[in-house]
Amino acid sequence: MIFSFQECLDDVLNYLRVEKGLSSNTLSAYQRDLKLFGNFIKSRKIAIDEISHSIITDFLWEQKKLGKSAATLTRYIESIRQFFKFLLAEGYLSQDPTAALSLPKRPERLPKVLSVTEVTRLLSSQILSRRQMSDLTERKKLRFLERTLRYIAAYELLYATGMRVSELSHLKDEQMDLESRFVRVVGKGGKERVVPLGKRAQDALRQYVSLRNQVRKNRLTGGGHDYVFTSSQGGKISRSTFFTVLKKLSREAGVRKNVSPHTLRHSFATHLLEGGADLRVVQEMLGHSDISTTQIYTHVDSSQLKKAHKQFHPRG
């Protein structure tokens, strides 16, 4: 007995709702996708048992020509796969026409980076105003200054070294050599790397650590076992706090982009490559085990080249 597409669709949706426990929103998405596919099948007067791999690819190709994105096409494929998976399990069909379907390649998303000017504005946005300080007691002034220098130093360090925010959060005093301007970063899987830092980051860290020790003297464990960036209670600063404060700073600095700590890591790598740094050197400083991960930044750099070519070439 050959069942209609609608009968099969009703059974599939009932199965997904009752046995798989899918939400109403997910079920609605499956229903929309499969109704679209069903209309395609109906327009060509194709029976359920006549649907083949080539017919499904015809449907996907038609949707692609209509301007559907790779993400939408991927969703269609998943919906159709679930449809035929159920029909096979229930014995409606003996072969799966989706077995050889491959997912469309999604366009590569390039990381967001800041320009050098934007980084400068961002890292200069925490300069204290006399009006802010004038209303505070001496003790509160000290704490306010310590908090300000804490985030100046943190974001200077992120941009100077390209470290991840999780690595920054767990950074300890013993990992820094401010005299030689190096920091020992402990990355994923406990893998260590040594990264140099610039004069501005060195100065910011020296100012902050000195004031931190003064303000936190009763809360730090000492002996090179302290977290570099500590809260008012002496514990490490969380990743989410670094994220929240940076978002606030970017707004105050007038930076329109969606900025996160990872944006500073991306900007670090991109600006090094734009300045002529070797890709393998950047790979080492970022802590990438595979150079193909680092190569994403060459695409970012290439986009800047295209922009310059279009702007300055007479036939750009």
Between CA 92 and CA 74 the distance in angstroms is: 25
β partners of residue 177: 182
Between CA 205 and CA 156 the distance in angstroms is: 9
Given 188, 191, 307, 310, which residue is catalytic? 188
Strand 176-177 versus strand 182-186 pairing type: antiparallel
Given 147, 265, 266, 271, which residue is catalytic? 265
Given 164, 212, 266, 271, which residue is catalytic? 164
- The answer to whether 92 is a known catalytic residue is no
Neighbours of 234 (CB within 10 A): 16
- The answer to whether 143 is a known catalytic residue is no
- The answer to whether 164 is a known catalytic residue is yes
Between CA 31 and CA 242 the distance in angstroms is: 42
- The answer to whether 288 is a known catalytic residue is yes
DSSP state of 236: B
Q: In which region does residue 303 sit, left (phi positive, over 0), alpha (psi from -120 to 50) or beta (all else)?
A: alpha
Alpha-carbon torsion 249, 178, 239, 227, what sign? negative
Tokens linked to 276: 């002529």
Q: Which residues are catalytic?
A: 164, 188, 262, 265, 288, 297
